[in-house]
Structure 1
Amino acid sequence: MQHQFPDTTLLITHYNRSGSLERLLSTFESLGCQFADIVVSDDGSKAEHLSKVKALADRFHFRLVTTPTNRGLGNNINKGQDAVQTEYTLYVQEDFQPSDVFPKHFADALTFMREDFKWDIIRFYAYFAYPTLRPFKKGYSEMVYRFWDLNHLKFYYYSDHPHLRRSTFLQKFGRYPEGIKGDLTEYRMAVSFLQKKGKGLFFDDFTKLFYQKNSSNEPSTMQRADWKQSPNPLVKLARLAYLRYRWLKNTIDLVILK
């Protein structure tokens, strides 16, 4: 069965994981997903990966946007989004893989965006559910930011995980900051998104539309501290104190960051 999305570009960011990129593109192909365009934005991959990516471009007919040296996540998303020419963008990093039920729920998300201009982003994957969700329809809920909520996860209304967005995203929320670490790049965009009153939906069963796939040959380029999951009581107490500090800091950032 073919699923055609004539007003949507698939934007994929890539860095040194050509095998993962091939798996992602092959899965979309096997699901019958046909986009108006596919843009792969490469962040200065090694020669052996870039050579394979160029070969994949011939096979999957995507436009490749490159840079001679690694310039970080912010630059990679910015230059990729600049190349998009359609109304909507499906943004996916190369280490994800869509599930069999993705096309149906993605079609619903597109319908929501077409019907109501207030939606800026529709998220399909997360490690944890957004703290406050208001049921919407067809398995989606509206994300609700509440100032008084002490849950630090509320600040991550925006996420770099797979999502649908309007291709005017950079015009409304600003360009991604460049020259800083990837997790800080994501955080700064999340702050900008809240400052500019962005609105979005979240797929309730958030582990069912995409799977994050990493192998020993092509591990994730984002490393997170193991202490965050430690069962040690002292570590848990320290983490609670840290999260309260982060809540205060993030709240201040919403006021002063530009």
Structure 2
Amino acid sequence: MNKEYFFGEVTLLITHYNRSQSLEQLLLSFEALHCRFGDIVVSDDGSKAEHIDYLLRLQKKYGFRLITTPQNKGLGNNINKGQDAVQTPLTLYVQEDFTPTAIFPGSFVHALDIMREKPETDVVRFYAYFEYPYLRNHEHGYYQMDFRLWKPGYRKFYAYSDHPHLRRSNFFERFGRYAEGRKGDVTEYRMMMSFLKNKGKAYFYKDFTGLFVQKNSEAEPSTMRRNRLRESSNFFLTQMRHLYRHLKFNFDYLT
């Protein structure tokens, strides 16, 4: 018999925009893993009518609360209004294009233990594009993120990320609301700096692609658009980008 998991103190918060089939895949994946939550909130950012219709059909099946807006207002607004609707003490934040893996439920239990036993912890992170450079105090695959300004490299600044994570639902009281009316990467950057300046504490799952997989289908590609210069693999541009980030991140943190 498959083990049932009920995370009653957790709201699954999903941000959505024009990717209703991806959302369905995410919900199906949690169902297949026998994971249930105290509540599910889907925050939609002004999707097209056909996606809203599909969301309403999914809502009847899964019983989530749907928070909508008549027009697209960007990532910051979408997370803000979704988090405002959360009523449980903890929030599992996941964007609609992620899927949990088979080991997620058991590992999530340990993440909850960290939040319960270490009240100073604000966030437990489950996914990243690279390993956080300074980790300590191993617990069931999770490590405490050790930010120190004097340590070398700019990647130490990435203590916060919009990738899947568990956080306390009073997150805004500690770090403020997400910047609205700005591009998604700017919104994320500002929250990253706020998290550091307000002495945020986080744990990081070292096998950072082991608990979630990001899926972008041809039918529903990623809606995130980034500056091409930021993604270029050209050696000269890469080195200039590293230098720029090193100087900017240190300056923004200190001012």
TM-score (norm 2): 0.96
* Counterpart for residue 45 of structure 1: 47
Paired AA for residue 34 in structure 2: G
Aligned 8 A contact 2:123 2:166 in 1: yes
Checking the alignment, whether the CA contact within 8 Å between 2:230 and 2:241 is kept in structure 1 is no
2:245 aligned residue? 246
Q: Which residue type is aligned with residue 95 of structure 1?
A: D
User: How many residues are aligned here?
Assistant: 252
- Cα distance in 2 between the residues matched to 1:121 and 1:219: 28
Identity among equivalent positions (%) equals: 58
Aligned to 1:72: 74
The equivalent position to 1:59 in structure 2, one of 53, 58, 61, is 61
Aligned counterparts of 1:116 and 1:242: Cα–Cα separation in 2: 37
Which 10-residue stretch deviates more, 99-108 or 127-136? Answer: 127-136
SS in structure 1 opposite 2:107?
Answer: helix
Give distance in 1, aligned partners of 2:76 and 2:237. Answer: 31
Structure 2 gaps, min length 5: none
Q: State the one-letter code of the partner of 1:246.
A: R
Give, in whole Å, the separation in 1 of the partners of 2:180 and 2:172: 14
- Write the deviation string for residues 185-243 of structure 1: whole angstroms up to 9, x where unpaired: 0000000000000000000111110000111110001234377462xxxx323322321
Aligned-partner residue type, residue 254 of structure 1: Y
Deviation at 1:135, TM superposition (A): 3.4
Q: Aligned partner of 1:178: which letter?
A: E
Worse-matched range after superposition: 237-246 or 180-189: 237-246
* SS of alignment partner, residue 79 of structure 1: helix
Shift of 1:91: 0.2
2:180 is matched with: 178
Deviates more, 1:133-142 or 1:237-246: 237-246
Q: What one-letter code is carried by the residue in structure 2 that aligns with 1:47?
A: A
User: Shift in Å at residue 75 of structure 1?
Assistant: 0.2
Aligned pair 1:255/2:254, yes or no? yes
Deviation at residue 246 of structure 1 after TM alignment: 1.4
Choose 188-197 or 126-135, whichever is displaced more: 126-135
TM-superposed deviation, 1:97: 0.2
Separation of aligned partners in 1, 2:232 and 2:111: 33
The RMSD of aligned alpha carbons is 1.2
Cα distance in 2 between the residues matched to 1:130 and 1:184: 20
CA distance in 2, matches of 1:56, 1:127: 30
- Residue by residue, what CA displacement relative to the aligned partner does 1:168-198 show, whole Å, maximum 9, x if unpaired? 0011100000000001100000000000000
Within 2, Cα distance between the matches of 1:123 and 1:68?
31
Q: TM-score, normalised by structure 1?
A: 0.95
Q: Matches of 2:230 and 2:93 in 1, distance apart?
A: 30
Q: Which runs of 5+ in 1 are unaligned?
A: none
Q: Check the 8 A contact 2:123/2:167 in 1, yes or no.
A: yes
Deviation of the 1:136 alpha carbon: 2.1
- SS of equivalent residue, structure 2 residue 42: strand
1:150–1:247 Cα contact (<8 Å) kept: no
